Amino acid sequence: MRKLIFIALIGMLGYLTKATAFDANNIVLYMSFDQQPIKDFVQDHSEYGNHGTLIGKSKWVKTGKFGGALEFDGASKIEVPHSKSLNISKEITLQVWFKTKSPQKGRFLIYKVHLGGGRNYEWGIYLTGGSKSVSMYLVEPNDTVKWVSKDGDWENNDWHFLVGTYNGKSVKCYIDGEQAEKTPLAKSARTSEGVLLIGTWGNNFFTGLLDEARILNVALTEDMIKDEFKNGYRSFSIAAKNKLGLGTNQIFINY
């Protein structure tokens, strides 16, 4: 009996460790798109206030993957100013749900612009090859690109969950909870004061729906990503500031 109780306790501790692997302060950007943007203001629900500006004519729709979503028209994007919280070099998770019926070629769905010489990005998750390939990219301080891709059919007008991670050692990519086999090693990601962009890479604009865009300063595990694909994001209650002069609101972040 004591042995069974001990085994049960070990199992509970393992579950709790997995459930508390990160907290609300590890979420540096979360745009749920559940509310219609006010003019060109796109709210970040994280505690860091990384709000964005909608550039172009993307429209808000009620029928996203979870709540509302933004429909990108192939000529629009969200721009988020640089902040210290987005200066991520050691661990990172990039996440977004996307839906398209158009062949996409060379579109970063989320990426950080690099200021200075070399590659014009620091890290990002990518859709290309006529929507037949998804990728996670990371650029090291010496301008070496580390990337990993997974092939499939992502232009079928269904929702797909794209995730890229870097755990301080290797770069990984997941689509709909499935991990790409290749995991290239990387020493760190370079940083600069470049803006964060959602829905474009230069003038290569995404066409389709985006929902639940999120960035963490920790690397989620494969089990956690599979759980998110099946069940959505866990809820956190935090006080989030906004730029609308409405004070501080108590909101819930899903996980």
Give me the residue spans of the domains in the chain: 24-253
Phi-psi sector, 109: left (phi>0), alpha (psi -120 to 50), beta: alpha
Cα 37 from Cα 46, distance rounded (Å): 16
38 pLDDT above the threshold of 60: yes
Q: Does CATH place domain 24-253 in 2.60.120.200?
A: yes
22 pLDDT above the threshold of 90: no
Give the model's confidence band at 74: pLDDT under 50 very low, under 70 low, under 90 confident, else very high. very high
The whole model's pTM is what? 0.87
| pLDDT single digits (tens) 134-172 | 999 999 999 999 999 999 999 999 999 999 999 999 999
Cα 224 from Cα 55, distance rounded (Å): 33
